[in-house]
Amino acid sequence: MRFDWVNILATLIFVSIVVTLILAVASYFAYKVREARRPRTAAELRQEGQGKVFFEEYHPAEKSNQQPDESARVPLNVR
| Residue 24 binding other proteins, by CB under 8 A | yes
User: Within 10 A of 13 (CB to CB), how many other CB atoms are there?
Assistant: 10
CB nearer to other proteins: pick between 30 and 63:
30
Residue with Cβ nearer other proteins (46 or 63): 46
In 1-79 the beta strands, taken as DSSP E runs, fall at none
Looking at the Cβ atoms of 16 and 63, the one nearer to other proteins is 16
Phi and psi of 78, rounded to 5°?
-100, 125
Please answer whether residues 48 and 40 qualify as being in contact, where contact means their C-beta atoms are separated by less than 8 angstroms: yes
Output the smallest distance, CB 75 to other proteins, in A. Answer: 37
Which residue in the set 10, 70, 72, 79 belongs to the binding site for other proteins (CB under 8 A)? 10
